[in-house]
Amino acid sequence: MSEHVDTKLQALDRLVGTWKVTGEAEGTVTYRWMEGGCFLIQDVDLEQGGMRVRGTEFIGRKRPFGAERPSEDVHSWYFDSQGATLAYVYEIEGDTLTIWGHEKGSEAYFRGTFDADGTSVAGAWVYPGGGGYESTMTRMP
């Protein structure tokens, strides 16, 4: 990681650990830092719509070959066992976590709120035209 603290990326440290997911998608997600601290990795094991989905998401800043500076936003790249390749932008402001579909300001997003002790995040996925759903993550011991 660079010499200065990346506050936007480090704000995601409160996600580190294993979480039980309930709602329309159920199962577990685990967040862990990649060596070097430049990327947060999420391992996904969920059941949704009668299908088991496993995936891995890499969360960090874009820094293409030759770029002197990383992107302003914290991006992610998600790959799953169904062949999906999805992109998101992560943002934490106070106790609110927003995961934007593809780009910040998208009409597809998750917005959830951490409880006072940081052991759960309750919110909902919102999709353009409807079809979103409520989801809660509860930290596992």
Distance in angstroms (rounded) separating the CA atoms of residues 24 and 16: 23
Q: Cβ atoms within 10 A of the Cβ of 78, count? A: 16
pLDDT attached to residue 2: 43
Give the pLDDT of the chain (141 residues) as one tens digit per residue: 444 568 889 999 999 999 999 999 999 999 999 999 999 999 999 999 899 999 999 999 999 999 999 999 999 999 999 999 999 999 999 999 999 999 999 999 999 999 999 999 999 999 999 889 999 999 999
C-alpha distances in Å from residue 76, one per residue of 49, 50, 55, 85, 103: 24, 26, 13, 10, 10
pLDDT attached to residue 52: 97
pLDDT attached to residue 6: 87
Distance in angstroms (rounded) separating the CA atoms of residues 106 and 125: 12
Distance in angstroms (rounded) separating the CA atoms of residues 136 and 23: 6
Domain ranges of the chain: 7-61+70-139
According to CATH, the superfamily of the domain at 7-61+70-139 is: Calycin beta-barrel core domain (2.40.128.20)
